[in-house]
């Protein structure tokens, strides 16, 4: 049950440029939901997604040696494009008890789309992706921990396994891939789209768009809906996933009004979308016979590599990694949805960790044996500015006395440090104040009790409200009973 971690690490720096190129080519049209008039013959989308605690992997084997039979047929609407007859296909490999041992064979057997092997645009992208064999090989290494779960979810929905390759087009299989316009995650979900699809929790500790579980579930549900919406045409469904169903519907209406074909290849679509579908088909052609293109795919077994464990209490990711017996970087790679160095507090709900499947029991046993160990006392989001000063932006109604109480710096020091000749302040003014960078500190954690306010806690521990908010990445003074706050205490001078 090895996740090929060493191989992944070796390729990290090489991968960055590759993934940036992939994301740049994909652009920002992905999952831009548009208002469309839904035909009465189609059902409404099923966009219910797994919660953060849903298991990441299935415990049942994926795919027998019998090919999948999803509810679609090859798209052969356009007579100017040839079928798959001339496409080279690799012979499936070893089986044990009727199951393929390689996940790549499972994926190949599940291919059902017409790949339009002789289409010039498809062949252009085949040449693009195979120009450097390391391109696909490196992305496949990146995909290794996540691919079983994705294929399992695809089979559960009875859709073509070509869809398992779509994150290559979208993000280069980067869970934290971000486009210039804000699309995020393996499937490049936009914020509003994620909300429309009910992707899951999004708070200052957790972003469901970066969750393998949540984003995959939402994206596949949406793709299946688009397939039904476009009457069983996967080419149109994929185009709509990229540019929005309204864009595809309008292009079809334009052609229909002029007596032209309304299949994907004859539509006038954004140039990005016209390339988007051929990219996926090109990738399927390559995976169908990688040896033909001098590509060696990393071995991925046909069983789960990662499992999930419930987090019993808020803890630092460093402590969670210790409990699991793995490196902290590996933990973060498997759990990209956590946006801080700590797990979410209990008042936000119950969360799970993705772990190498052999480490789940180790983590659970160590948590049970050490219920009070969280690692939070060593955690802080903000410390003294390296330049030795902090900044405060003046709000309407602020006075020097109020700023002094908020920052913990005397009025005289504020006046001297900012060369103020009087006490008048104006909204938007930025004040600088000195920070003692020579002092040694320790960090303690405080659990919010009924009746507590940030101001009362700051007063109790002789710290400024400003720093208390900074240390805990708080955007407002709203706190909740049971929430843990980090407090910095000066211990030497």
Q: Is residue 380 part of a domain?
A: no
Q: How confident is the model at residue 105 (pLDDT cuts 50, 70, 90)?
A: very high
Q: What is the mean pLDDT of residues 356-381?
A: 84
**Alpha helices, DSSP H only, in 340-397?**
360-369
Could you give the CA distance from residue 212 to residue 167 in angstroms, rounded to a whole number? 11
Q: Is residue 298 part of a domain?
A: no
Specify the residue for token string 């334009």: 254
Q: Which of 32-36, 68-72, 194-198, 367-371 has the highest mean pLDDT?
A: 367-371
Residue 435 φ then ψ, to 5°: -125, 135
Same-domain status, 183 and 260: yes
Token code pair at residue 92: 């499936």
Q: Is residue 411 part of a domain?
A: yes
- pLDDT value for 28: 54
| pLDDT tens-digit readout, 221-263 | 999 999 999 999 999 999 999 999 999 999 999 999 999 999 9
Q: Residues 32, 188: contact at Cβ < 8 Å?
A: no
Q: How confident is the model at residue 281 (pLDDT cuts 50, 70, 90)?
A: very high
The contacts of residue 292 (CB under 8 Å, 6+ apart) are 88
Q: What is the mean pLDDT of residues 456-480?
A: 85
Q: Is residue 398 part of a domain?
A: yes
Same-domain status, 287 and 395: no
Query: Among residues 105, 6, 35, which one has the least CA distance to residue 65?
Result: 105
Q: Is residue 385 part of a domain?
A: no
Concerning whether 156 is annotated as a catalytic residue, the answer is no
- Which is higher by pLDDT, 50 or 452? 452
Q: Residues 241, 30: contact at Cβ < 8 Å?
A: yes
Token code pair at residue 490: 């000066």
Same-domain status, 395 and 463: no
Same-domain status, 197 and 315: no
Residue 365 structural domain: 306-375
| pLDDT tens-digit readout, 108-121 | 999 999 999 999 99
Same-domain status, 12 and 51: yes
Does the pLDDT value for residue 406 go beyond 80?
Answer: no
- Which is higher by pLDDT, 468 or 110? 110
Strands (E), 12-158: 95-96, 99-100
Using alpha carbons, list the distances in angstroms from residue 95 to 54, 99, 103, 283.
30, 5, 11, 24
Could you give the CA distance from residue 159 to residue 157 in angstroms, rounded to a whole number? 6
Could you give the CA distance from residue 358 to residue 28 in angstroms, rounded to a whole number? 38
- pTM for the structure as a whole: 0.66
Q: Assign residue 471 the CATH number of its domain.
A: 3.10.350.10
Same-domain status, 172 and 202: yes
The contacts of residue 40 (CB under 8 Å, 6+ apart) are none
The number of domains in the chain is: 4
Same-domain status, 157 and 237: yes
Token code pair at residue 342: 């700590």
Instruction: Using the 3D structure, point to which of 293, 314, 340 is the last residue of a domain.
Output: 293
| pLDDT tens-digit readout, 125-166 | 999 999 998 999 999 999 999 999 999 999 999 999 999 999
When the pLDDT of each residue in the chain is averaged and rounded to a whole number, the result is: 79
Does the pLDDT value for residue 52 go beyond 60?
Answer: no
- pLDDT value for 29: 46
- Which is higher by pLDDT, 168 or 17? 168
Could you give the CA distance from residue 28 to residue 368 in angstroms, rounded to a whole number? 45
Same-domain status, 52 and 32: yes
Q: What is the mean pLDDT of residues 379-395?
A: 56
Could you give the CA distance from residue 259 to residue 242 in angstroms, rounded to a whole number? 25
User: What radius of gyration do the chain's Cα atoms show?
Assistant: 27
- The 10 Å CB-count burial string (b at 16+, else e) for 350-388 is ebbbbbbbbbbebbbebbeeeeeebbbbebbeeebeeee
Q: Identify the active-site residue in 6, 87, 94, 170.
A: 170
Q: Show the CA angle centred on residue 269, arms to residues 266 and 274, nearest 5°.
A: 80
Same-domain status, 196 and 256: yes
Residue 313 φ then ψ, to 5°: -160, 165
Characterize the bridge pairing of strands 389-393 and 430-434: antiparallel
- Which is higher by pLDDT, 60 or 461? 461
Q: Is residue 82 part of a domain?
A: yes
Could you give the CA distance from residue 460 to residue 463 in angstroms, rounded to a whole number? 8
Instruction: Using the 3D structure, point to which of 293, 322, 344 is the last residue of a domain.
Output: 293
Same-domain status, 354 and 483: no
Q: Is 416 helix (H, G, I), strand (E, B) or coil?
A: helix
Does the pLDDT value for residue 341 go beyond 90?
Answer: no
Q: Is residue 386 part of a domain?
A: no
Q: How confident is the model at residue 417 (pLDDT cuts 50, 70, 90)?
A: confident
Specify the residue for token string 């990393």: 298
Q: Is residue 407 part of a domain?
A: yes
Q: Is 339 helix (H, G, I), strand (E, B) or coil?
A: coil
Instruction: Using the 3D structure, point to which of 225, 259, 293 is the last residue of a domain.
Output: 293
Same-domain status, 339 and 414: no
Same-domain status, 131 and 213: yes
DSSP string for 237-302:
HHHHHHH-HHHHHHHHHHHHHTT---SGGGS---HHHHHHHHHHHHHHHHHHSGGGGT--PPP-BS
């Amino acid at each position: 049950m090895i996740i090929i971690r060493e191989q992944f690490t070796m390729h990290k720096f090489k991968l960055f440029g590759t993934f940036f190129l992939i994301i740049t080519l994909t652009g920002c049209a992905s999952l831009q939901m548009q208002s469309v008039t839904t035909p009465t013959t189609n059902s409404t989308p099923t966009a219910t997604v797994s919660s953060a605690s849903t298991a990441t992997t299935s415990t049942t084997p994926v795919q027998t040696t019998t090919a999948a039979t999803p509810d679609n047929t090859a798209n052969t609407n356009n007579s100017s494009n040839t079928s798959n007859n001339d496409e080279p296909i690799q012979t499936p490999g070893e089986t044990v008890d009727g199951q393929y041992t390689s996940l790549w064979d499972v994926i190949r057997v599940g291919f059902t789309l017409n790949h339009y092997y002789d289409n010039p645009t498809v062949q252009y992208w085949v040449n693009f992706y195979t120009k450097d064999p390391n391109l696909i090989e490196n992305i496949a290494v990146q995909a290794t921990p996540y691919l079983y779960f994705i294929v399992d979810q695809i089979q559960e929905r009875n859709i073509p396994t070509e869809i398992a390759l779509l994150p290559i087009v979208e993000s280069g299989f980067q869970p934290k891939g971000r486009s210039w316009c804000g699309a995020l995650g393996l499937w490049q979900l936009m914020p509003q789209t994620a909300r429309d699809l009910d992707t899951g929790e999004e708070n200052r500790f957790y972003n469901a768009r970066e969750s393998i579980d949540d984003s995959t579930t939402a994206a596949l549900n949406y793709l299946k809906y688009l397939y039904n919406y476009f009457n069983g045409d996967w080419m149109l469904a994929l185009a709509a996933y990229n540019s929005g169903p309204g864009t595809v519907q309008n292009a079809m209406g334009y052609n229909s009004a002029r007596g032209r074909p309304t299949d994907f290849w004859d539509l006038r679509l954004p140039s990005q979308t016209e390339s988007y579908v051929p990219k996926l088909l090109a990738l399927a052609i390559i995976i169908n016979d990688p040896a033909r293109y001098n590509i060696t795919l990393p071995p991925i077994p046909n069983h789960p590599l990662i499992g999930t464990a419930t987090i019993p209490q808020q803890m630092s990711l460093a402590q969670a990694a210790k409990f699991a017996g793995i490196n902290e970087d590996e933990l973060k790679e498997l759990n990209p949805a956590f946006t801080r160095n700590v797990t979410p507090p209990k008042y936000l709900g119950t969360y799970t960790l993705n772990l190498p499947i052999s480490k789940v029991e180790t983590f659970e046993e160590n948590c049970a044996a050490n219920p009070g160990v969280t690692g939070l006392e060593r955690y802080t989001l903000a410390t003294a500015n390296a330049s030795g000063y902090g900044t405060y932006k003046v709000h309407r109604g602020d006075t020097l006395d109020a700023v002094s109480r908020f920052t913990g710096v005397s009025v005289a020091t504020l006046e001297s440090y900012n060369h103020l000749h009087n006490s008048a302040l104006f909204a938007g003014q930025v004040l600088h104040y000195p920070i003692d960078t020579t002092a040694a500190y320790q960090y303690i954690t405080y659990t919010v009790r009924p009746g507590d306010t940030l101001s009362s806690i700051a007063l109790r521990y002789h710290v400024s409200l400003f720093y208390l908010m900074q240390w805990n990445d708080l955007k407002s003074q709203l706190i909740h009973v049971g929430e843990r706050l980090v407090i910095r205490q000066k211990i030497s001078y």
